[in-house]
Amino acid sequence: MKIQNKQRNALKKLFCGAAAALLISTAAHADYSSHPGAAAFVKTMVEKHNFDRDWVLAILKQAEPKQSILDAMSRPAESVMTWGRYRNIFIQDSRVTQGVEFWTEHREALARAEKEFGVPASMIVGIIGVETRYGRNTGSYRVVDALATLGFDFPRRATFFLGQLEEYMLMVREQGFEPFSLKGSYAGAMGFGQFIPSSYRAYAVDFDGDGQVDIVNNKVDAIGSVANYFKRHGWRYGQPVVSSAVLKGDVDQSLFNAGLKPEKTLAQLDKAGIGSDRVLEPSQKATAMKLEGEKGDEYWLGLHNFYVITRYNHSAMYAMAAYQLSELIAADMQKVTTP
């Protein structure tokens, strides 16, 4: 198969260059192959997944620690920003205009993804716009460096990121990628839609039929993969995402921001003084949100599809930004396509 040949070639290149690379390595680069946690990781890759031991050690030996990654993990934007500031980062006229351009350029793939997966083209474009500004900013860290740094030097989440490093090695073997060629975010997310390795393996798809799943370089695969992610997490086509909340008198503030998952029905929330500004089925479940906007507090009701967006990134502000960007892009796209 083509992928198997590419895989073999990639492995040959790695081994041929490994010796030279190791000779010129400096003391400034930590050697993760001798890290106290490396032995258990290597054993897993060899015994569980049948990897060559020397191959895994070569990867760990060449992986470089990045203090900037550890610093970034300690200050995620969602924990230090108000909704007003956060929104301004991701929703600007330029990002909306670029979204229309991306949609126009990939109209056929987006229409096909909407039909096959039941996810609106606008939502797919919105996600890619928030994640990477349509591929303009996919990350500058080598994925190997990010995952090794966090897996071996970030104890609080070491188990998770060592698991992602395991998934990454499986992914590059399956897709025939050169292990050090892929770059991404400080958390090891890759491509137009910023999938971590486990999500890449679980949800990314070969949407253009070329025999390789590539969301790093292939926009069509990225479009289909984002749509598949949403479908697999339960997106309900044609259903609303959010509704503005209407407060009726004094409301128990503990009802707001209690969690991302909708737990109370709209009827229950209405009885507690939190109504909807639109007519919705009272039995629908929602989560009540209070967000600090530029002009004061905003009150929202997040419905099932809103929760699905938060499966992509577990943040109410993220989901709101992605949805609002998608709506603005859709509105401008309508202007472009309407005679």
Q: What is the rounded distance in angstroms from the CA atom of residue 195 to the CA atom of residue 311?
A: 12
Q: What percent of the chain has pLDDT over 70?
A: 90
pLDDT of residue 7: 45
Is 131 marked active-site?
Answer: yes
Q: What is the rounded distance in angstroms from the CA atom of residue 327 to the CA atom of residue 331?
A: 6
Instruction: Name the catalytic one among 114, 131, 167, 327.
Output: 131
Q: Tell me the CA distances in angstroms from 49 to 107, 147, 173, one per residue in order.
A: 40, 18, 11
CA 243 from centre of chain:
24
The DSSP bridge pattern shows strands 274-276 and 242-247 to be antiparallel
Q: How many other C-beta atoms lie within 10 A of the C-beta of residue 148?
A: 30
Q: Which two tokens stand for residue 182?
A: 């892929």
| Mean pLDDT calculated for residue range 297-310 | 98
Q: What is the pLDDT of residues 227-238, one digit of tens each?
A: 999 999 999 999
Q: Tell me the CA distances in angstroms from 198 to 38, 64, 149, 183, 332, one per residue in order.
A: 20, 22, 17, 16, 35
233, 311 Cβ separation under 8 angstroms? yes
pLDDT of residue 77: 57
Q: Which two tokens stand for residue 339?
A: 């005679």
Q: Which two tokens stand for residue 217?
A: 């370089």
142, 183 Cβ separation under 8 angstroms? yes
Q: Which two tokens stand for residue 328?
A: 């603005």
DSSP 37-103: THHHHHHIIIIIH---HHHHHHHHHH----HHHHHHHT--HHHH--HHHHHHHH--HHHHHHHHHHH
Q: Specify the DSSP class assigned to residue 195.
A: B
What is this structure's pTM? Answer: 0.89
User: Degrees (nearest 5) of the Cα angle 180, 184, 189?
Assistant: 115
Band (27; pLDDT cuts 50, 70, 90): very low
| Mean pLDDT calculated for residue range 171-200 | 97
> Which residue in 207, 210, 240 sits closest to 221, CA to CA?
207
248, 273 Cβ separation under 8 angstroms? yes
271, 288 Cβ separation under 8 angstroms? no
Helix (H, G, I), strand (E, B) or coil at 183: strand
Band (74; pLDDT cuts 50, 70, 90): confident
Pick 269 or 21 by higher pLDDT. Answer: 269
Q: Which two tokens stand for residue 58?
A: 């070569």
| Position 25 pLDDT exceeds 60 | no
Q: What is the rounded distance in angstroms from the CA atom of residue 72 to the CA atom of residue 318?
A: 17
> Which residue in 293, 335, 289, 336 sits closest to 309, CA to CA?
289
| Position 221 pLDDT exceeds 80 | yes
Band (336; pLDDT cuts 50, 70, 90): confident
Return the axis-axis angle of helices 107-117 and 121-132, rounded to nearest 10°: 120
Exposed, middle or buried: residue 294 (CB in 10 Å: 0-12, 13-18, 19+)? exposed
User: What is the average pLDDT score of the chain?
Assistant: 91
193, 215 Cβ separation under 8 angstroms? yes
User: Looking at this protein, which amino acid is placed at residue 247?
Assistant: L
Q: What is the rounded distance in angstroms from the CA atom of residue 31 to the CA atom of residue 134?
A: 35
